[in-house]
Chain A
């Protein structure tokens, strides 16, 4: 009995122990992070017969809502996933499988389920149950998805950027090939990296004999030009960029070229540095035209002066021969002719002045003089010459300037006669002289027609005439150009302030040498 009793006790004990173990296992299952279910494969439609707490959390359903369902209830309406077929086949064959499948919580939200299914077999090898372990991998999936999205976005961007760059490059290279200026790119050792079409055409060379060669070796050393070397090796490194550097060179095959060179050291971050871009403007033709124009002016004024000399001489002889004839009309007629001969001579001289200035032959006789007195005298003689005008002079500087007094008088005469000429409605002209720092500033103010902004930009150019006034006020367009050049030669500046309809103020400055 004891033995029996103890046997019963033992089996009771065993059952109790087993129950304790089962409790422990259930607790373990419920504290797992993964959702776990068990389905009964022997029942119709393989219903869920167990789920742990984590499965409730993952799916959003309660235990009682889950039990009895086939697992597919988690797929909601999303029935077309390829993974379903894998599950189906594994269950039919009684095999394990591991898949990632889109499932839906009770509230309809999507979660990615990493599902591991494994069959439980009885001793006969029959599959009685399946155990499903699920993990919500939505966060990981989202991260993967984001990464993929980001990657494809970046790829798209790269494609776009590449295309933009290609477009830009073909745009740039079409500009480079089209410009009517020669362009060369050199490396730091003056090897030609590229040359545009205009360069090849202008200097009658091919790409093959240019690119990859030392600049100074090109075309049998015809580019071995000392001033070019000087610019590249000495001036450019300390003085980047070099603008409008003039090179005059005789090329053996193409003859003399006068070129304006602009050079820049260029750097393209991460790709290269110390490259040199040279832009070459061929100004040979322009120089030649300028020279011809100067020659023409010089010859024309010389040739005009020759018959004028004869006319003037003959006229003076006539005046002398008729000294006894005192008829006032006769005398005043002769005086008028004298005035017009002088005016003609003045016009021709002005033409010659421009050609002198243009060819750099303007002779200045620099001596110190009292500027106040010079201005007073010039104003006084203009008052005599134009008695109708009302010229007012203000200011006194007591300064001595160094310069060619006759030239300065010519400048003031130009400005005064312009002020009178272009102010037919207003007689008043104000001349003022002031000391400004170490300069004297002379201003000539009129109340005439004024000058538009566009015309103000060009008014000091040679032969420039404001088009609409040419008929009313004919002129050569020389006075202001010559005045501007004269003041420039004196290291001063000449400028204008004006508004159309409100008159103009021409100002010029001259550096002071000493004060009295």
Chain B
């Protein structure tokens, strides 16, 4: 079976590298994007099965990106899990139609649990 493709977008290189290492160990095909302005293009070209998205990022923030994704035909169905240390993270994620939210700092099992439950559907 083809491994599931997961894209991660976060402006922090440490988090990107850590999640990439972990998710590859978990058997996923991982694509990282540190520059939020490139995300839409990357999503269209790679068509990942799921997106892990940070909220506070320079230039284009996570909430703006969710709006763009949900209104871009080719990628509007992409499942999105928001990762944030921000207080209002859960509210933003819920209001904008993200599929899940995990608060930073997280237990890695929380990430796999969320991913598995979404991909199962």
On whether the beta carbons of A316 and B85 are closer than 8 Å, the reply is no
List 13 interface pairs A-B (beta carbons < 8 Å), by A numbering.
Answer: A301-B85, A302-B86, A305-B105, A306-B104, A309-B15, A310-B12, A310-B14, A312-B106, A312-B107, A313-B15, A355-B87, A356-B87, A361-B87
On whether the beta carbons of B85 and A313 are closer than 8 Å, the reply is no
On whether the beta carbons of B108 and A309 are closer than 8 Å, the reply is no
When C-beta atoms are compared, the residue in chain B nearest to A355 turns out to be B87
Query: B74-114 interface mask toward A, CB cutoff 8 Å, 1 = contact, 0 = none?
Result: 00000000000111100000000000000011111000000
A502 to B12, CA, bound (A): 51
On whether the beta carbons of A320 and B25 are closer than 8 Å, the reply is yes
On whether the beta carbons of A307 and B85 are closer than 8 Å, the reply is no
**B106 cross-chain contacts in A, Cβ below 8 A:** 309, 312-313
B25, B86, B105: which contacts A309 (Cβ < 8 A)? B105
B15, B17, B25, B108: which contacts A306 (Cβ < 8 A)? B15
When C-beta atoms are compared, the residue in chain B nearest to A310 turns out to be B14
CB of B56 closer than 8 Å to a CB of A: yes
Question: Which residues between 1 and 52 of chain B lie within 8 Å of chain A, taking CB atoms?
Answer: 12, 14-15, 17-19, 21-22, 25
B85, B88, B108: which contacts A305 (Cβ < 8 A)? B85
**Total interface residues in chain A, CB < 8 Å:** 22
On whether the beta carbons of B85 and A309 are closer than 8 Å, the reply is yes
On whether the beta carbons of A317 and B85 are closer than 8 Å, the reply is no
CB of A314 closer than 8 Å to a CB of B: yes
Q: Would A313 and B18 be within 8 Å (CB), given that A302-B56, A305-B105 are in contact?
A: yes
**Minimum Cβ distance to chain A for residue B22 (Å):** 5
Q: A interface vs B, CB < 8 Å? A: 298, 301-302, 305-314, 316-317, 320, 341, 345, 352, 355-356, 361
A317 to B106, CA, bound (A): 13
On whether the beta carbons of B14 and A307 are closer than 8 Å, the reply is yes
A302, A305, A317, A356: which contacts B18 (Cβ < 8 A)? A317
Instruction: Given contacts A306-B12, A309-B18, list 15 more A-B pairs with CB under 8 A.
Output: A302-B56, A306-B85, A310-B14, A310-B18, A312-B105, A312-B107, A313-B22, A313-B108, A316-B107, A317-B108, A320-B25, A341-B105, A345-B105, A352-B87, A355-B87
A214 to B95, CA, bound (A): 49
A258 to B108, CA, bound (A): 46
A307 to B106, CA, bound (A): 12
On whether the beta carbons of B105 and A308 are closer than 8 Å, the reply is yes
Best-buried of B17, B87, B106, B107 by chain A (most CB within 10 Å): B87
**Minimum Cβ distance to chain A for residue B95 (Å):** 15
On whether the beta carbons of B105 and A302 are closer than 8 Å, the reply is no
On whether the beta carbons of B87 and A313 are closer than 8 Å, the reply is no
When C-beta atoms are compared, the residue in chain B nearest to A345 turns out to be B105
A212 to B21, CA, bound (A): 76
A331 to B12, CA, bound (A): 30
A305, A317, A356: which contacts B22 (Cβ < 8 A)? A317
A301 to B108, CA, bound (A): 21
A466 to B108, CA, bound (A): 39
When C-beta atoms are compared, the residue in chain B nearest to A306 turns out to be B12
**Minimum Cβ distance to chain A for residue B51 (Å):** 17
